[in-house]
Amino acid sequence: MMILSRLLGCQEQLGFLHQSKEELTDSHPVVCNRNILVELEEGVGVAVMKMKSPPVNSLSLDFLTEFSISLEKLENDRGCRGVILTSAVPKIFSAGLDIKEMCGKSAEHYAEFWRAVQEMWLKLYKSNMVTIAAINGNCPAGGCLMAVSCDYRIMAENPKYSIGLNETQLGIVAPFWFKDTIANTIGHRATERSLQLGLLYSASDALKIGIVDELVPEEKVLNAAAATMSQWLAIPDYARQISKSMMRKPTLDRLLTHRESDIQNFVSFVTKDSIQKSLQTYMESLKQRKG
């Protein structure tokens, strides 16, 4: 009953979670945190993590910390073998890193923020669980990093949605582990072009280039993710996990080896006057586009 009332509390607050009371039974334990709703279907061993931080699910320090803790809890739960990552905010998967966390703050804050970004990626990329991104909205930069860190991506076939690492368009640079993660997905040449030009791909172009694995009508994204999940879970965990680790370990080890210098690089990069100016100009352009 407590679970039910907590979730209903969130629904009232958000007003856009489309679950009926009947669907919400105690066989679906729900943890409703500030930024992420985690629902574990125990019999099936699959959790759905719904990002719910309006307006754009930007990855703030608070969000990233909650994400890493939630994922770690699922990782340590023997009853959970797979995670579907999706959004409860209409039209947005995630707008990427919260730009406000990278503007006008202290060097200590930037270091803490970047460590949290690293932690989110390390936990997601090395997860032993099957991870599927159900991309039901726009997915730039850090949002794209989250998606390409999953094992499989299903995107809504909506021509208004795009996905990609657009950092250069903000005058900033995707660090080596963003680059490695996307290169592991789409290959070296496509990554080179994609990173230099800061390309955001439409859903259909994303499928062509291989950033996403499948497009489905928007209302079918979650069902398609659940169907793919059951295929992946049919493989014995141990064999699948070792295969995943074999593919991903060199990329993970590279950041683990250079973690502190990567934080130093970020801090010295983001504290430059020219970079602060670029980020502020970009934030203003987002606001102007609105008006």
Ligand X SMILES: CC/C=C\C/C=C\C/C=C\CCC/C=C/C(=O)SCCNC(=O)CCNC(=O)[C@H](O)C(C)(C)COP(=O)(O)OP(=O)(O)OC[C@H]1O[C@@H](n2cnc3c(N)ncnc32)[C@H](O)[C@@H]1OP(=O)(O)O
Q: What is the footprint of ligand X within residues 48-87 (CB under 6 A)?
A: 55-56, 58
What token pair was written down for 81? 């073998």
Would you count residue 271 as binding ligand X (CB under 6 A)?
no
Q: Which of 118, 136, 138, 149 binds ligand X (CB under 6 A)?
A: 138
Least distance from ligand X to the Cβ atom of residue 31, Å: 25
Q: Which of 18, 78, 189, 290 binds ligand X (CB under 6 A)?
A: 290
Complex with ligand X: residue 47 or 174, whichever CB lies closer: 174
Q: How large is the C-alpha radius of gyration of the chain?
A: 19
Q: Distance between CA atoms of 183 and 192, rounded to whole angstroms? A: 8
Catalytic residue among 142, 143, 164, 198: 142
What token pair was written down for 279? 């980020």
Complex with ligand X: residue 45 or 175, whichever CB lies closer: 175
Helices within 149-220 (DSSP H only) = 176-186, 188-197, 203-209
> Is 158 an annotated catalytic residue?
no
CB contact at 8 A, 84 and 39: no
Would you count residue 98 as binding ligand X (CB under 6 A)?
yes
Q: Distance between CA atoms of 121 and 157, rounded to whole angstroms? A: 26
Would you count residue 269 as binding ligand X (CB under 6 A)?
yes
Torsion of CA 89, 286, 101, 95, to 10 degrees: 30
Three-state DSSP class for 80? coil
Q: Which of 47, 51, 64, 92 binds ligand X (CB under 6 A)?
A: 92
Q: Which of 74, 140, 156, 179 binds ligand X (CB under 6 A)?
A: 140
Q: Distance between CA atoms of 286 and 167, rounded to whole angstroms? A: 14
Residue with tokens 């608070």: 62
Would you count residue 142 as binding ligand X (CB under 6 A)?
yes
Catalytic residue among 40, 71, 85, 97: 97
Would you count residue 207 as binding ligand X (CB under 6 A)?
no
Least distance from ligand X to the Cβ atom of residue 14, Å: 16
Which residues share a beta bridge with 139? 163
- Contact window for ligand X (CB under 6 A) among 65-73, 126-134, 162-170, 224-232: 162-170
Would you count residue 141 as binding ligand X (CB under 6 A)?
yes
CB contact at 8 A, 64 and 119: yes
Q: Distance between CA atoms of 190 and 205, rounded to whole angstroms? A: 12
CB contact at 8 A, 174 and 165: yes
Q: How many residues bind ligand X (CB under 6 A)?
A: 30
Catalytic residue among 71, 158, 167, 200: 167
Residues with a catalytic annotation lie at 97, 142, 166-167
What is the binding site for ligand X (CB under 6 A)?
A: 55-56, 58, 91-92, 95-100, 138, 140-142, 166-167, 170, 172-175, 265-266, 269-270, 283, 286-287, 290
